[in-house]
Amino acid sequence: MKNNLNAVELKYRKWIIVLSIAIPVAVAVLFKIKLKDFGFDVEPLSFLPPIYATINGITAVLLVAAVIAIKNGNRKLHENIMKTAIACSVAFLGMYVAYHMTADSAEFGGKGIIRPIYFFILITHIALSIIIIPLVLITYVRALAQRFDKHKKLARITFPLWLYVAVTGVIVYLMISPYYAV
């Protein structure tokens, strides 16, 4: 039985590695690419930031709800909530990239103590958003493989980091939103 479970993990191992590298690289590259630079006459998708910030907030709520569900012994509800949280993160990513491919980045205009606070939150948010990708994928695959002991052990690390990324995504949006070009 253990070999079959490991086979599930091995089946997804390459995908975890590929996605853990490809997603941050693609976001970094696509963040720099503007469709207007290639002759596309597209309006900035300026309606997206509040939507993807809201999705980050929803993700945070889902993560807390998933923990409550599993602590109450409701594994199926936990599983469904986690799948929804992953779907929200994928939706966020798509909208985030689409926005940044059509709009120039806003510059934070805050002064005084708020400036280093903003950049601390932003930098930790970005760094952890890269780190969280393989953690979420490995945690999810361990559940698929029914390796719940290992899943639970890693989830204790993944959950607070993912929650931090989701919450700080909202905070970054709230702090930078006054500086978006209109």
Q: At how many degrees (to 10) do helices 48-71 and 148-176 cross?
A: 150
Distance CA 30, CA 124 (A): 21
Q: Which CATH class is domain 2-179?
A: mainly alpha
What average pLDDT does this structure show over 112-126? 97
Say if residues 136 and 165 touch (Cβ distance below 8 Å): no
Q: Which two tokens stand for residue 32?
A: 């720099």
- Contacts made by residues 6-13, CB under 8 angstroms, sequence distance 24+: 6/145, 8/141, 8/144, 8/145, 8/146, 9/141, 9/142, 9/145, 9/147, 12/137, 12/141, 12/144
CA atoms within 13 A on the CB side of 42: 17
What pLDDT band is residue 3 in, cutting at 50, 70 and 90? very low
What average pLDDT does this structure show over 2-9? 62
Amino acid 31: pLDDT: 76
> Is the pLDDT reported for residue 2 higher than 80?
no
What average pLDDT does this structure show over 76-93? 97
Amino acid 181: pLDDT: 64
Of 133, 124, 104, 112, the closest CA to residue 171 belongs to: 124
What average pLDDT does this structure show over 90-115? 92
Amino acid 1: pLDDT: 39
Distance CA 1, CA 154 (A): 21
Q: For the chain, give the mean pLDDT.
A: 91
Q: At how many degrees (to 10) do helices 114-144 and 148-176 cross?
A: 150
